[in-house]
Amino acid sequence: MACSVPSIASGTFCKLSSPVASLHPSSPLFSNNLSFPKSFTSRSSSLTSRSRPLSKRSFLVKASSEDLPLVGNKAPDFEAEAVFDQEFIKVKLSDYIGKKYVILFFYPLDFTFVCPTEITAFSDRYAEFEKLNTEILGVSVDSVFSHLAWVQTDRKSGGLGDLNYPLISDVTKSISKSFGVLIPDQGIALRGLFIIDKEGVIQHSTINNLAIGRSVDETMRTLQALQYVQDNPDEVCPAGWKPGEKSMKPDPKLSKEYFSAI
């Protein structure tokens, strides 16, 4: 199958001649090994550690469970057909590992009401996410033909117009199911949003019910906070933190510096 690569994400999008949507349980994105952060050590170990200095540790918990996805787990991999730049392309989530952060969001259906407000809002802010080395991917259970028709519909008529990121087709509903957002008796997805880091780990998730739209501003703020604590593993971000504001040291004594300043 021949592939061509659009400029916005080299090595990630490939033109397709036939629809595909499949999951790869054997992919390295799946993690079945149970591991615990150092903060979950036994009480006796905690008591013993008081007699010696504590080593630095990451406060980004890495969980593990058979019931994926959970924040802290590797994201379930998938490969599916999508629409971008009014063409059918292939998107594989694991292609972003080591390259980009990913905002992966699900929405119920094309040609609905709340959905176009979210989709176009993310597209209009795409350049800001791009500066943070982040790709955006939208997913619904609609076909690529429905996606294409919606993109070709003017915004003033309830359409999307051209978008700056792909819309993925999950007609088999396998992607929605693997991310835990599928409503089985309706066959559509809740408004789930996942922030996946460059290691392919889910670091944030939100799930809204069908009638409630999401905030691009809050998604951006959460992404910036995630990138900050990954760059500064000995710090944490308090409520509502934004770039340039004071962070906090996760230590009983050092944290007082933050609290005394607010």
Query: How many Å separate Cα 9 from the centre of its chain?
Result: 16
What pLDDT is stored for residue 70 in this prediction?
Answer: 79
Nearest CA-CA partner of 55 in 246, 199, 233: 233
pTM as predicted? 0.76
Range scoring the smallest mean pLDDT among 35-49, 84-98, 111-125: 35-49
Phi, psi of 210 (to 5 degrees): -60, -30
**13-25+66-214 belongs to CATH 3.40.30.10:** yes
For residue 203, the SS3 value is strand
pLDDT, mean over the chain: 82
- Whether 224 shows a pLDDT value over 50: the answer reads yes
What pLDDT is stored for residue 59 in this prediction?
Answer: 53
- Whether 153 shows a pLDDT value over 70: the answer reads yes
167-169 vs 134-140, strand pairing mode: parallel
CA distance 208 to 8: 29
CA distance 206 to 185: 21
What pLDDT is stored for residue 149 in this prediction?
Answer: 98
- Residue 253's CB is within 10 A of a number of other CB atoms, namely 7
Is 115 assigned a catalytic role? yes
Range scoring the smallest mean pLDDT among 31-35, 112-116, 192-196, 249-253: 31-35
What pLDDT is stored for residue 8 in this prediction?
Answer: 39
